[in-house]
A and B are shown apart, each in its own frame.
Chain A
C-alpha cells in the first residue's frame, strides 16, 4: 500500500528549528493584528492576493508542488493531472481477473460489488442502478476513482499503466471504445461517455 511518506515525514531537528523560529516571528504580528482581524471582511482578503496573509497568523509551511506530488492525484475532465503511461483492454482484462473480479464478478458482470458493464436506460425510473455506461459523464472519473480507491482493500497500489489498462478494459466491455484502443493521457479525455449530456445543474446560481 502506498503510504503518505511523500508528505508526512517526521520533522527533522533542522526543520523543527526553522518552524519554531517562524512561529516566534509571526506570533508578534498575529497578536498585533488580532484586534483588527475581526473588522476586516473576508472578501477584502480574497480580493487582495498581493497582500496575501497580512493580518493572519501565517503558520503554514510553504511547500512546493514537488513535495505534494504523492498526494496530488486529482484528474480533471479535460485530462489535467493524467499521468504518463498507457494500457489496452487486453492488458486490462488480465489485471481485472486478478485484482477486481473477486468483487465485481467475472468480466465485470457484478458480484458483491456493482457490475461495471451494462446498465438499464435511465428512463426506467429514478431508482435505476447507475452504471458507467448509463450514467457516468466523464471517462476521466473512471481513471481517477480506480486509481484513488481501488482495489477496495488495497487502494493506491495499482501502477498508472494498470489503471490505464483497467480503464480501457472497462470502457471496451461497455463498447464505448474499441477492443484495441489504447488509453493514455491524450486519448482518455477524448472518450465521449454516452450520458455526457444527461445532466441538469440543480442550482445554477450556486455555481462559481
Chain B
C-alpha cells in the first residue's frame, strides 16, 4: 500500500496507481451502484450455465439486463416539434458511442429514405454541376476517422443560475463519438470544379424541413466528409441515413443529415438555424453568430448524477474530453471543488476532434466532496472556469426549471458533481 501516492485533496491518487504491479486493491476497484456486496455466498452452478443458450440473432441486441441503457426522449410520441434523444454517458464506457445510443436531434422526424432513390447534387459556383448516387459514392476512395459530434445546445442546463437537478444524460447527453467512414468532400468538389468566387456552400437535407446550413468553403476543403458509415454500419436513420455531411469538431446542426444538395455560393444563406437558432444571446443584448466550433470541454461520467456510490473505498473517476481544435493534451481532476488537482491518465489513442477517455484513481473516505475535471487541448486552449464562462456569456435570470431547456448554447465550462455521504451524486456549482 505504500506505493499508493495521494496527489490531491480528498483522496485523489496518482494516475498510475492502479497500474503499479501488485496493487493490493486493484481487485477491489469496481464500478458504481454495485449490487449487494454483503456476505459472500457459496458459488452455485446457475440455471443459465446448465441449459441450452439463446439462439444467435441476425442483428444482435444487448442483454435484457441492459434494458435501461437507452436514450432519454424529449418527444417520444413524435409531436410536431423537435425531438431529442440523449446519450446515457453514465451507463457506457470507452470512447465510442454505440449507434443505437448516439444522440439524435430531429426537428421534423426522420425521413424514411429509399437509398436507391437518394441523390446528392453539387451545384452553384462550380464548373460542372454533378449528381451522385449512393452506389457511385461507394466506389470512391474512402477514409475513416473518429470524431465527436456535439449539439451546440449540449450542456445548456449549466447556464442556469442555480445548479439544475438532473442526471448527466439530461445535462451532457447531446454529444457522442463515432468512427465515420465516407468520401472526402474535397474529392467531389474538385470533380465539380470550384469557381474561385465560391466562399460558402449551402448544405441541405432531404428531410421535410429541407434543413440547411452555410459552411465556409475552407472547412469543406479541410476535413469535411460525406459520411456513409457510422461505427462500421450504414448511418442510423436518426443520424442521417443514407448520408450526412460530417464537419469534424463543428456544431452538430451544421453536420447536415440526409444530405441531398450542396450549393456553392459567395455569401452565407443566413438560414433559420444559423441566423436564429444557433446564435446565442450575450449579456447586453448582442448575439454570437457563426459559432462553428465545439470548444475544448470535459466532464466526468463516473461517478455522475444517475449513478450512486457504493460506500467508501476505491473508485475510478473517469470521463471524456474533446475539442474542435485537435487532440486533448491534458486533463486535470479535482475532488475538492477545484482547490487541488491531480493529472488524469489519458487513454490511448488520443485522436484529434474525438473523445479522449480520462481516468483517475480515487480513494473516497465517505465524506461529501465535489468532483471536477478540466481539459487542455493541443492548441493551448483550456476549458474556462464556470465564472469565466458566465462573465462572458451570462446565465439565466431565474433558475432553469425544465431540465431539457436551452437557455443558451456552447457551454464549455467545467461540470461539478457533489458526492454526498449517502452516496448520492448531484450537479453543483463550485
B93 interface hit (Cβ, 8 Å): no
Digitize A79-100: 1 where CB-to-B-CB distance is under 8 Å, 0 elsewhere.
0100000000000000000000
Q: In the complex, what residue of chain B is closest to A122 when comparing beta carbons? A: B285
Say yes or no: A61-B131 contact (C-beta < 8 A), given A74-B202, A149-B272, A206-B219. yes
Digitize A50-78: 1 where CB-to-B-CB distance is under 8 Å, 0 elsewhere.
00110011111111110110011111111
CB distance from B293 to the nearest CB of A (A): 6
Report A-chain residues with C-beta under 8 Å of the C-beta of B129: 62-65, 67-68
Contact A141 B271 (CB under 8 A): yes
Report B-chain residues with C-beta under 8 Å of the C-beta of A30: 139
Q: Which of A17-68 contact B (CB under 8 A)?
A: 23, 30, 34, 37, 42-43, 45-46, 49, 52-53, 56-65, 67-68
Say yes or no: A7-B121 contact (C-beta < 8 A), given A45-B190, A61-B131, A63-B130. yes
B122 interface hit (Cβ, 8 Å): yes
Say yes or no: A206-B265 contact (C-beta < 8 A), given A60-B131, A141-B271, A198-B287. no
Contact of B130 (CB < 8 Å), options: A62, A78, A136: A62
Say yes or no: A155-B131 contact (C-beta < 8 A), given A60-B136, A199-B286. no
Say yes or no: A72-B123 contact (C-beta < 8 A), given A127-B408, A198-B287, A200-B282. yes
Q: A30 CA to B288 CA in the complex, in Å? A: 44
Report B-chain residues with C-beta under 8 Å of the C-beta of A138: 270, 275
Q: Which of B189-203 contact A (CB under 8 A)?
A: 189-196, 199-200, 202
Contact A202 B290 (CB under 8 A): yes
Report B-chain residues with C-beta under 8 Å of the C-beta of A130: 276-277, 279, 281
Q: In the complex, what residue of chain A is closest to B188 when comparing beta carbons? A: A60
Say yes or no: A148-B209 contact (C-beta < 8 A), given A71-B261, A74-B269, A125-B394. yes
A137 interface hit (Cβ, 8 Å): yes
Contact B130 A8 (CB under 8 A): no
A112 interface hit (Cβ, 8 Å): yes
Q: In the complex, what residue of chain A is closest to B290 when comparing beta carbons? A: A201
CB distance from A99 to the nearest CB of B (A): 14
Contact of A126 (CB < 8 Å), options: B133, B211, B282: B282
A103 interface hit (Cβ, 8 Å): yes
Digitize B127-167: 1 where CB-to-A-CB distance is under 8 Å, 0 elsewhere.
11111110011011100000000000000000100000000
Report A-chain residues with C-beta under 8 Å of the C-beta of B131: 7, 60-63, 67
Contact A199 B159 (CB under 8 A): no
Main secondary structure of the interface of A (DSSP, over half): loop
Q: A68 CA to B123 CA in the complex, in Å? A: 8
Contact of A49 (CB < 8 Å), options: B194, B210, B212, B395: B194
Report A-chain residues with C-beta under 8 Å of the C-beta of B212: 74, 148
Q: A37 CA to B268 CA in the complex, in Å? A: 31
Q: Which of B243-268 contact A (CB under 8 A)?
A: 260-261, 263, 265, 267-268
Contact A136 B275 (CB under 8 A): yes
Report A-chain residues with C-beta under 8 Å of the C-beta of B276: 130, 135-136, 141
Contact A8 B119 (CB under 8 A): yes
A153 interface hit (Cβ, 8 Å): yes
Report A-chain residues with C-beta under 8 Å of the C-beta of B275: 136-138, 141
B366 interface hit (Cβ, 8 Å): no
Q: In the complex, what residue of chain A is closest to B281 when comparing beta carbons? A: A126
Say yes or no: A149-B139 contact (C-beta < 8 A), given A42-B221, A46-B221, A198-B287. no
Q: In the complex, what residue of chain B is closest to A58 when comparing beta carbons? A: B191
Contact A74 B139 (CB under 8 A): no
A178 interface hit (Cβ, 8 Å): no
Looking at A10, A80, A207, which has the most chain B CB atoms within 10 Å of its CB? Answer: A207
Q: A130 CA to B407 CA in the complex, in Å? A: 11
Q: A51 CA to B119 CA in the complex, in Å? A: 25
Looking at A7, A74, A130, A200, which has the most chain B CB atoms within 10 Å of its CB? Answer: A74
Report A-chain residues with C-beta under 8 Å of the C-beta of B200: 208
Q: A202 CA to B193 CA in the complex, in Å? A: 30
Report A-chain residues with C-beta under 8 Å of the C-beta of B199: 208
Q: A141 CA to B289 CA in the complex, in Å? A: 15
Contacts A57-B136, A60-B128, A149-B209 known; 9 new A-B pairs at CB < 8 A: A10-B117, A60-B122, A68-B121, A68-B129, A76-B270, A77-B270, A126-B396, A135-B279, A206-B216
Show the binding face of A for B, using Cβ within 8 Å.
4, 7-8, 10, 23, 30, 34, 37, 42-43, 45-46, 49, 52-53, 56-65, 67-68, 71-78, 80, 103, 112-113, 121-128, 130, 135-138, 140-141, 144-145, 148-149, 152-153, 155-156, 198-203, 206-208
Q: Would you give 7 A-B contacts (Cβ < 8 Å), ordered by A?
A: A57-B140, A59-B132, A130-B276, A130-B279, A136-B275, A144-B269, A199-B286
